[in-house]
Amino acid sequence: MFTLMFAQDVFGQDYFVNRSLLNVWDFEDKNHFEIDKQANAKAITQGKIKWVPEEHSFGDSAVIHLHGDKDASTFFMIPSIYTDYAFTNWTIDFEFAIGTHAMDHEDHVLDQGSIMDGVIVEWGDLKVTYFVQDDGWRGKIVAEYRQRIINIPNVSAFDWHHMVLRSEENGVTIWMNSACIKYIQTPRTPVRSQKIKFASDGFAGRLDDIKLYNTKLRPWEITRNYWGTELGIDNKNKLTTTWGEMKKYEMDY
């Protein structure tokens, strides 16, 4: 009988698949949020990044806010020394939300919220970017791999999304909120000793639970990660009725 392995933080908040897990940044440590809890790997941060406690994160855990609208050089990066693996297969699993916010997380009045173009993540030849759509409330995700491009339209802003990028025998698949959305089919290129850069080129929003696996997660494992306590339906609604409602109010009035 196969037993699924899970990792759990000391506060009992985060649950995720532990099979072949290399790194996980859950941002629970205010003083050392750039250090992962799996291998003591230290990410590189630049620009305006703010650690935010759970009571102000529209969820059940601490997160980081990245203010690319205020400093376009902002990013969160896993250095190449931590990707020095052969990577027969790999998976990147993380949560993100798009939208601006005040530098002071206790003051939501100063910035009612807008959305910006920005790179969500890039690793080697793989790049995922968010572009604003005309209504200012949604955007589209453009994933590029070896000059092949796919589009994912109508991705809501001011809401959490769970994204998984997974290697395939020929190319990569893009998963959103536990569903496989797109497959970029092309011969793969190596990613060994390539940095992984999150939230750059003007990205304004939030990141949480960044996980790097030295394996291809199975579909049901991706679903398990999605239904961790961070992504319960109540938390999504809470985000929509706080951060998102402020933006809706601004648009209506």
Identify which of 131, 103, 101, 136 has the alpha carbon closest to the alpha carbon of residue 118: 131
Spell out the domain ranges in the chain.
Answer: 16-252
pLDDT of 47 reads 97
Spatial separation of the C-alpha atoms in residues 187 and 184, rounded to whole Å:
10
208/229 Cα distance (integer angstroms): 12
Residue predicted with more confidence, 219 or 61: 219
pLDDT of residue 71: 97
Q: What is the mean pLDDT of the chain?
A: 85
**If you average pLDDT over residues 204-225, what whole number do you get?**
96
Tell me the mean pLDDT in the region 207-232.
87
Question: Is a pLDDT exceeding 80 seen at residue 4?
Answer: no
Phi, psi of 61 (to 5 degrees): -150, 165
- What predicted TM-score, i.e. pTM, was given to this entire model? 0.86
Q: Please name which of 134, 168, 171, 129 lies closest in space to residue 152, comparing C-alpha atoms.
A: 129
**Phi, psi at 105, each rounded to 5°:** -65, -15
pLDDT of residue 245: 46
Cβ 125 vs Cβ 145: under 8 Å: yes
Residue 251, number of CB atoms within 10 A of its CB: 11
Query: Residue 237 has what pLDDT?
Result: 43
Share of the chain above pLDDT 90, in %: 72
Could you tell me the pLDDT band of residue 108, with boundaries at 50, 70 and 90? Answer: low
pLDDT > 70 in the chain, percent = 82
* Structure confidence at residue 55 (pLDDT): 84
Query: Domain 16-252 is of which CATH architecture?
Result: Sandwich (2.60)
pLDDT score of 233 more than 60: no
Q: Which amino acid is at 210?
A: I
Amino acid 218: pLDDT? 97
* Dihedral sign (CA 98, 100, 106, 112): negative
Residue 14: its pLDDT value, please?
A: 62
* Structure tokens, 7: 């990792």
Amino acid at 142: V
More confident residue, 154 or 104: 154
pLDDT at 247 over 80: no
DSSP state of 10: T
| Token pair for 249 | 């109010």
- 9-61 confidence digits (pLDDT tens): 333 356 889 999 999 999 999 999 999 999 999 999 999 999 999 888 777 78
Average pLDDT over residues 104-114: 70
Q: How far apart, in whole angstroms, are the C-alpha atoms of residue 113 and residue 12?
A: 31
